[in-house]
Chain A
Amino acid sequence: MATAPAVADTFPKLLLAHARKRGGSPALREKDLGIWQSWSWAEVAEEVRLLAAALVARGFKRGMHLAVIGDNRPRLYFAQLAAQSLGGIPVPFYQDAPAPEMTYVFQNAGIEIAIVEDQEQADKLFEILPQCPKLRLIAYDDPRGFRHYHRDELVSYEALRAEGDGFAKGRADFLDEHVEAGKGADTAIMLYTSGTTGMPKGVVLSHDNLILTGRAYAELEGLRDDEEVLAYLPMAWIGQNLFSYAQWLVTGFRINCPESADTVITDMREIGPTYYFAPPRVLEALLTQVTIRMEDAGRVKRWLYRYFMGVARTVGSRLLDGKPVSFPDRARYALGQALIYGPLRNTLGMTRIRVAYTAGEAIGPDLFVFYRSLGINLKQIYGQTETCVMVCVQPNGQVKPDTVGPPMKGVEVKLLDNGEIVLRSPGLFVEYHQNPEATREVKDADGWYHTGDAGYFDDDGHLKIIDRAKDVGKLQDGTLFAPKYLENKLKFFTSIKEAVAFGDGRPEATAMVNIDMQAVGDWAERRGIAYAGYQDLAAKPQVCELIRECVEKVNADLAADPKLAGSQIHRFVVLHKELDADDGELTRTRKVRRRFIAEKYESVIHALYTGADHCWVEAAMRFEDGRTGTVRAQLGVHAAKTFPPAAAVRAA
């Protein structure tokens, strides 16, 4: 203890501090073979020591990059920590990234060693190996399927660990020197931005960046070392690295890796996390499931659900914010708590949640209010990979669904004339890897980071984000057009999975819509509508009618807002295929790639503005097994009712 540094300023130092202070208590769990297996802090430190030893023996040196590819798995955490212990830099990848997308990163970062989860990932690396001659070692965690692989580059995690064991023998403290040599200003990790435009850029984040941000959040929410956290996010996402990695090491709480992507909901119920982080799409998927199951429930249950959710909507958020609520309302909410909210929270695995965050993109206000009305303290935060997600957070008790709250302590925010948000903070990234030009573009000489988001402060000093600054446009008559705002409104409907709005420089706003296969499929089944698959279902007249209702509800909403009433959606199409990251239409974090779509679906957009009642579309798509093909379809173009602006109605 005496030798422990006053303040641990790197992740490996934090790990060693935890191993000394609470060595025996669990740090990390993973469900395997149906049982939660756990590693104590001391065991984690030992795993990291052995792996680091093996990496040293294999020629891994300070400043080198280590690829980490796979789902959220304990051994990948060990790999990140081992690399950082040696002063190296882990570069995590999205597990579903196709091989060609990985090539660039491997070349850009000059990666020599990769630690991967399974055969699927290793196969991808063998595919790109000819283009990445530097890559010389691939270690895999899950041995399944490797029986007939005879490649010199391959080594199993176990074998690598055994090598480390041999190397570390008689050198019990070899790692301490390496760890001591690390400083807070050293690079901790490099995350590649999903790149809505151009090649991905490697965002270089220092230990200071992540640790200071982690501490800021921990102080703000009073996080303790007994929090339970479900670690299920992609390893390459900043959210994962802040909330399941940096904060794990800062506070010493426990992270739990689910068994597989399909079991997350069950595993979450078993763990009962107290601190939860989810991007809006996960929350949306959960709500869609609840809604579907409720529609299949009996009449009495359905009625109870509807009635009490109505009560929750009017009362729940007010209670959570500590605002005055009348006694009868309190009583009704308490009854709802016993009958509906409690069991529902339990089903969602959210009974114990003290703080939940959502970020990544704007969340639909209705979706957001749904969780808060159940008594779950869900809050929005705002930030980017480049800022370690440290810009704004909604304060407890003052949560407004349409803002992201005031700037956090230590963050300076200002607005440029065009509405763009710029900021300075301790979490601000160092640079883009080997790309000073791009760094200069977003980070000016005084250290201000240009977010590219447009927004404004409301009367309480809470920041409201409308859209990407470059995406905010104007209709021909000069009305403000914020496409993402419209899309988010559409996407709140369970039947709509994805939407893309058009309107910049056009006479009126229009939209392309993706149906949600699960929700609409169930809906069709209950009505006895037969369909052959996605494309067939999307083309059914009844489904188009369903979507039309959604669009018209959005229009009615927009009409109430004087600023946005002009951007009501006049016409729309229901797409025959899902927008997919594999086809380049979405980024890996499922953000719409607007320009790419505008080009690819030119014929559809043309039809939306020429008044045609149908159009032909031919789109290349990539199947799950990697083959590509084209899908050709005729799409109907539908008109939606629009409403006069509320102000005009009142005047009349």
Chain B
Amino acid sequence: MNSPARQFGEVILKLENISLAFGGVKALTDISFDVREHEIRAIIGPNGAGKSSMLNVINGVYQPQQGRITYRGETRHHMEPHFAAANGISRTFQSLALFKGMSVLDNLLAGRNLMIRTNILLQALRVGPALREEVHHRRRVEEIIDFLEIQHVRKTPVGRLPYGLQKRVDLGRALAAEPKVLLLDEPTEGIQPSIVDQIEDIIIGFKQSRRFAIVLVEQGLHFAARLADRYVVMAKGTVVAAGKTSELSAEEVRQHLTV
């Protein structure tokens, strides 16, 4: 990338000493790291390292037994899913979570559900403020469609699309919520190399837009290292390494890949 030395903003999300257990099974042990505005922070690790659990802690689906989460200056013991969603934490899923029977357009509009202010009656009548609001939301969604270059499937039911395109739609849905922090759970899992390149381009586009921070969960270090500013390596529920990707040495890469 020909970007100049990138400057990051304040810490937007900070996790301190998070521990999570399901009964006797320890999923996460004493995990701390932070995410700054506009950066991409990668969480790397093998299957079962606790990466997805970590995301679920961030957006409040799991409630850790110990630790603190500071999001936009507010410290709490755990997140509430609804609070997270309404306050700019949005995510994609490893195994997609889209409305298969609905069109791409409707899926993206659904992503903006929490931002709709007018009440259901006005919307049903499509009058005044509701109409203006719909025009606004449709415009934003169309901009996302344009950005992801999925115009040709705008009205196609998501279930009929190839998997790689569904991944893009899932990105679009997360984007439609206008996140402050975007959690990407293995965006390149299960898709062919040419589509990986497309997804990479899209994430680079996110980075250049400097609108939000990204937490990128990946098993493969190479993809994450190309995109991320900083990384956290996890194994068996603990953090084994962390730092800036620009300072990663070949030796370290080898080491982390074999954890």
B-contacting residues of A (Cβ < 8 Å)? 32-35, 144-145, 147-149, 259-260, 262-263, 266, 624-625
Which residue of chain A has the shortest Cβ distance to B209 in the bound complex?
A147
| A262 contacts across to B, CB distance below 8 A | 151-152
**Residue from the list A144, A147, A266 in contact with B152, Cβ < 8 A:** A266
**Residue from the list B142, B147, B205 in contact with A34, Cβ < 8 A:** B142
In the bound complex, CA of A304 to CA of B149 (Å): 37
The yes or no answer to B214 lying at the interface (CB within 8 A) is: no
Q: How many whole Å from A531's CB to the nearest CB in chain B?
A: 14
| B3 contacts across to A, CB distance below 8 A | 148
In the bound complex, CA of A144 to CA of B143 (Å): 12
30 CB contacts below 8 A, A to B, read A33-B139, A33-B142, A33-B143, A33-B145, A33-B146, A34-B105, A34-B138, A34-B142, A34-B145, A34-B151, A34-B154, A35-B142, A144-B147, A145-B205, A145-B208, A147-B208, A148-B1, A148-B2, A148-B3, A148-B208, A149-B2, A259-B152, A260-B149, A260-B151, A260-B152, A262-B152, A263-B151, A263-B152, A266-B152, A624-B194
Once the chains bind, are A259 and B151 in contact (CB under 8 Å)? yes
Contact with A along B148-164 (1 / 0, CB 8 A): 01011010000000000
| B138 contacts across to A, CB distance below 8 A | 34
| A259 contacts across to B, CB distance below 8 A | 151-152
A-B contact sample (6 more), CB < 8 A, given A34-B105, A34-B151: A33-B145, A145-B205, A145-B208, A148-B2, A148-B4, A259-B151
Q: How many whole Å from B191's CB to the nearest CB in chain A?
A: 15
The yes or no answer to B197 lying at the interface (CB within 8 A) is: yes
Which residue of chain A has the shortest Cβ distance to B154 in the bound complex?
A34
| A149 contacts across to B, CB distance below 8 A | 2
In the A-B complex, the 5 residue pairs with the smallest Cβ-Cβ separation, listed nearest first, are A262-B152, A33-B142, A263-B152, A34-B142, A259-B151
| B152 contacts across to A, CB distance below 8 A | 259-260, 262-263, 266
Q: How many whole Å from A392's CB to the nearest CB in chain B?
A: 36
Residue of B105, B145, B152 with most partner-chain A CB within 10 A: B152
Contact with A along B225-237 (1 / 0, CB 8 A): 0000000000000
Main secondary structure, interface of A, reads loop
How many residues of B are counted as interface, with CB atoms below 8 angstroms from the partner's CB atoms? Answer: 20
A-contacting residues of B (Cβ < 8 Å)? 1-4, 105, 138-139, 142-143, 145-147, 149, 151-152, 154, 194, 197, 205, 208
Which residue of chain B has the shortest Cβ distance to A33 in the bound complex?
B142
Q: How many whole Å from B243's CB to the nearest CB in chain A?
A: 25
Which residue of chain A has the shortest Cβ distance to B192 in the bound complex?
A533
Q: How many whole Å from A292's CB to the nearest CB in chain B?
A: 15
Main secondary structure, interface of B, reads helix
| B145 contacts across to A, CB distance below 8 A | 33-34
In the bound complex, CA of A258 to CA of B205 (Å): 24
| B1 contacts across to A, CB distance below 8 A | 148
| A145 contacts across to B, CB distance below 8 A | 205, 208
In the bound complex, CA of A148 to CA of B194 (Å): 25
In the bound complex, CA of A441 to CA of B248 (Å): 63
In the bound complex, CA of A266 to CA of B152 (Å): 8
| B143 contacts across to A, CB distance below 8 A | 33
| A147 contacts across to B, CB distance below 8 A | 208
Q: How many whole Å from A284's CB to the nearest CB in chain B?
A: 20
| A260 contacts across to B, CB distance below 8 A | 149, 151-152
In the bound complex, CA of A145 to CA of B138 (Å): 23
Q: How many whole Å from A83's CB to the nearest CB in chain B?
A: 28
In the bound complex, CA of A32 to CA of B197 (Å): 25
Once the chains bind, are B197 and A625 in contact (CB under 8 Å)? yes
Q: How many whole Å from A273's CB to the nearest CB in chain B?
A: 19
Q: How many whole Å from A271's CB to the nearest CB in chain B?
A: 15
Which residue of chain B has the shortest Cβ distance to A266 in the bound complex?
B152
In the bound complex, CA of A266 to CA of B138 (Å): 19
Q: How many whole Å from A144's CB to the nearest CB in chain B?
A: 8
| A263 contacts across to B, CB distance below 8 A | 151-152
Which residue of chain B has the shortest Cβ distance to A34 in the bound complex?
B142
Q: How many whole Å from B20's CB to the nearest CB in chain A?
A: 39
Which residue of chain B has the shortest Cβ distance to A146 in the bound complex?
B208
In the bound complex, CA of A80 to CA of B147 (Å): 27
Q: How many whole Å from A118's CB to the nearest CB in chain B?
A: 11
| B142 contacts across to A, CB distance below 8 A | 33-35
| B154 contacts across to A, CB distance below 8 A | 34
| B147 contacts across to A, CB distance below 8 A | 144
| A266 contacts across to B, CB distance below 8 A | 152
Q: How many whole Å from A629's CB to the nearest CB in chain B?
A: 14
In the bound complex, CA of A266 to CA of B103 (Å): 15
| A35 contacts across to B, CB distance below 8 A | 142
Which residue of chain A has the shortest Cβ distance to B140 in the bound complex?
A33
In the bound complex, CA of A136 to CA of B197 (Å): 32
In the bound complex, CA of A625 to CA of B205 (Å): 18
In the bound complex, CA of A245 to CA of B205 (Å): 35
Q: How many whole Å from A239's CB to the nearest CB in chain B?
A: 24
Q: How many whole Å from A604's CB to the nearest CB in chain B?
A: 27
In the bound complex, CA of A374 to CA of B138 (Å): 38
Q: How many whole Å from B157's CB to the nearest CB in chain A?
A: 15
Q: How many whole Å from A445's CB to the nearest CB in chain B?
A: 52
In the bound complex, CA of A389 to CA of B146 (Å): 36
Residue of A34, A266, A624 with most partner-chain B CB within 10 A: A34
In the bound complex, CA of A263 to CA of B208 (Å): 27
In the bound complex, CA of A263 to CA of B155 (Å): 11
In the bound complex, CA of A260 to CA of B152 (Å): 8
In the bound complex, CA of A624 to CA of B201 (Å): 14
| A34 contacts across to B, CB distance below 8 A | 105, 138, 142, 145, 151, 154
Q: How many whole Å from B173's CB to the nearest CB in chain A?
A: 17
In the bound complex, CA of A238 to CA of B19 (Å): 68
In the bound complex, CA of A624 to CA of B147 (Å): 20
Q: How many whole Å from A218's CB to the nearest CB in chain B?
A: 33
In the bound complex, CA of A497 to CA of B11 (Å): 56
| B205 contacts across to A, CB distance below 8 A | 144-145
In the bound complex, CA of A35 to CA of B105 (Å): 13
